[in-house]
Amino acid sequence: MSGPLTLRNIVAAALLVALALLPVYSQFSHNVFLLTLFTRIVILAMAAVSLNLILGFGGMMSFGHAVYLGIGGYAVGILAFEGVRSGFVQWPAALLASALFALVIGALSLRTRGVYFIMITLAFAQMAYYVIAGLARYGGDDGLTIQQRSQFVAPLNLTDKTQFYYVCLALLFASLYLVWRLVNSRFGLVVQGARSNDTRMRAIGFPTYRYKLVCFVIAGTLCGLAGALLANHTDFVSPAMMYWTRSGDLIIMVVLGGMGSVIGPVFGAVALLVLEEVLSGITEYWQIILGPLLLLVVLFARGGIDGLLGKVRS
Amino acid sequence: MSDPLLQTENLAKRFGGIVATDDVTLAIAPGELHAIIGPNGAGKTTLIAQLSGQLTPDAGRIRFAGHDISALPVHRRSHLGLARSFQITSLFLDLSVLDNVALAVQARAGHSFHFWRNARRERDLREPARAALARVGLEARANLPASALSHGEHRQLELAMALAGNPRMLLLDEPMAGLGPEESARMVAMLRELKKELTILLVEHDMEAVFALADRITVLVYGRVIASGVPADIRANAQVRDAYLGEAEHG
């Protein structure tokens, strides 16, 4: 997010402007489906941005990040089911619940490294998945329908598709700004130093565990907010929100878009979900096309879309 | 001789049956460049690791600037002004050269739970980092990623990181390792400049460099001090010649 008119910055700015103008287009073309699709894209982009904070900047390969989508979503769903409809209660509850979850998961899993870290984050997420699937009162496996979206004060009405889209988009922009500030702060440099050479960081006097744990909790909390949005978007929550394949989708978005670039995951989320939409319109077996595409990115474009755009200039 | 800046008393460290440091007593005066030499496996790196706090000695004490630091963790020792460089270059390769040094400055500037202000624009971090880079002659490379530097430049960067916190004393673990003759000469010149301002403990295999720089030399063999004195005495010491120097000169 620095520097002047590079191709990458132009594309990033164009994408953000296009996202901001999308409801206008959808209004004129009477294409409601487009708005619904992009609301989903914006929400999942936010989740990917939060994952990138730990994966791209912190080098923490969490394979259970979708668990916070589920925790945030179920915080909204369960409160709505129990008659608490105020967003002023639901959303902070979603943030708090996912923060606490991230604290527990992070505190334990950050003691491990490499493959063990991947496995333990996955294990925690799957554990949460089965616990939620076992909650008979809240629909168990079948999930839970949300009768009414989160209630805020007068002019703000989340049932209005356009309003809801703009709320999601504003929160995505806020997340990008937050991550951008974080990664350039002293805190962010410590986290990136730990990704680069944890041993040396400890040798020069940084207790890296604490910094990584705080980073892990911030990322989880942010993803929990995305979960609260997703629950409102679909008017429904189910354990599938936090299934491990969803965590995999988020990783794909980050890798495809560009790890360690603030805007990268937004590129990744748009590209993946639009491709998925287009390809599944062409053939039922769209994954056969998507798979090799991803392989090519991993093999030949390590910096993802962001890296490709950056290279074109030089 | 004034009070020593760094002092060890009967320091001992063993790993299982191997005695790595055996009853080592050293006194290094302020302003002195004190070299530690000895054949491979003499326990030089183990000694530095105990002085800087990566390893805890089994017995004995370490005093620095009047404090007993035997039990202090690494970061507390570096706060007191004792900095070390590493034998095996251990940098943040994907960060910029300046970021590497700025992190070393930041390490000594209290906790880093500052989430908002752009650390790359904080003069408190960047200015001392640039100054340290200038001292080792790397200021022109400040904005390159550390991975783009040559091996010799990595050693210079390593030194800049040790200098970044304005230490009183440097512990240098083989700063010439792997350097070509030209780079070695440059490093010797740099250390000669630094010794005007700092107390330095130098572990080094390059005898030419050691005898060119050192005020005093201590010879370790199997973890034990077999001689300690000014370079001329060490050169003349028969025991040292037997144990080490002769062998090195022939090989």
The pairing of beta strand B18-28 with beta strand B6-15: antiparallel
Residues whose CB falls within 8 Å of the CB of residue B185, separated by 6 or more in sequence, listed in order: none
B160, pLDDT greater than 60: yes
Q: Which residue from B78, B122, B125 is facing A205, i.e. has the nearest CB?
A: B78
Please tell me which residue of chain A has the smallest CA distance to B100.
A193
pLDDT of residue A312: 67
Q: Which residues pair with B61 in a beta bridge?
A: B9
CATH entry 1.10.3470 includes domain A7-313: yes
Average pLDDT, chain B: 89
So what's the ipTM on this one? 0.85
Residue B217: the pLDDT is: 95
- Residue A127: pLDDT over 60: yes
Identify the helix (H) or strand (E) that includes residue A307: helix A304-313
How far does the CA of residue B188 sit from the closest CA of chain A (Å)?
25
pLDDT, tens digit, for every residue of A28-78? 999 999 999 999 999 999 999 999 999 999 999 999 999 999 999 999 999
B108 Cβ contact list (under 8 Å, min separation 6): A205, B78, B79, B164, B165
Please report the pLDDT score of residue B251 as a whole number.
37
Question: What integer is the mean pLDDT of A207-229?
Answer: 97
- B151 close contact with A: CB closer than 8 A: no
Q: Nearest chain A Cα to B72, which residue?
A: A205
List where CATH 3.40.50.300 sits in chain B. Answer: 1-81+167-251
Judged against a pLDDT cut of 60, whether residue A203 lies above it is answered with yes
- Confidence category of residue A186, pLDDT binned at 50, 70, 90: very high
Q: How far apart are CA B16 and CA A77, in angstroms?
A: 59
Q: With CA atoms as reference, report the closest residue to A246 among A53, A96, A40.
A: A40
Q: Does B222 touch chain A (CB under 8 A)?
A: no
A180 vs chain B: nearest CA distance in angstroms?
A: 9
Q: What percent of chain A is predicted at pLDDT more than 90?
A: 80
Phi, psi of A146 (to 5 degrees): -100, 115
Closest CA to A214 of B76, B124, B111: B111
On the question of pLDDT at A314 being above 80, the answer is no
Phi, psi of B145 (to 5 degrees): -65, 145
B120 reaches A (C-beta below 8 A)? yes
Measured between alpha carbons, how far is A191 from B177 in angstroms, rounded to an integer? 30
pTM above 0.95, yes or no: no
Pair A225, A268: CB distance under 8 Å = no
Cα B214 vs. chain centroid, distance in angstroms?
13
Q: What per-residue confidence (pLDDT) applies to A3?
A: 61
Instruction: Write out the two tokens for A85.
Output: 């409809």
pLDDT tens for each residue of B195-250: 999 999 999 988 889 999 999 999 998 899 999 999 999 988 888 888 765 555 44
Architecture category of domain B1-81+167-251 in CATH: 3-Layer(aba) Sandwich (3.40)
What pLDDT does residue B5 have?
Answer: 95
Using alpha carbons, list the distances in angstroms from residue A55 to A15, A215, A253, A256, B147: 23, 10, 12, 13, 21
Query: Identity (one letter) of the amino acid at A68?
Result: Y
CB contact at 8 A, B237 and B221: no
What are the boundaries of each domain within chain A? 7-313
Q: What is the pLDDT of residue B114?
A: 93
**Predicted local confidence at residue B246, as pLDDT:** 55
- How near does any CA of chain B get to the CA of A209, in Å? 13
Higher pLDDT, A30 or A95: A95
Report whether B203 contacts B233 (CB < 8 A): no
**Residue among B87, B92, B173 with most chain A CBs within 10 A, to mutate:** B92
Is the pLDDT score of B185 beyond 80?
A: yes
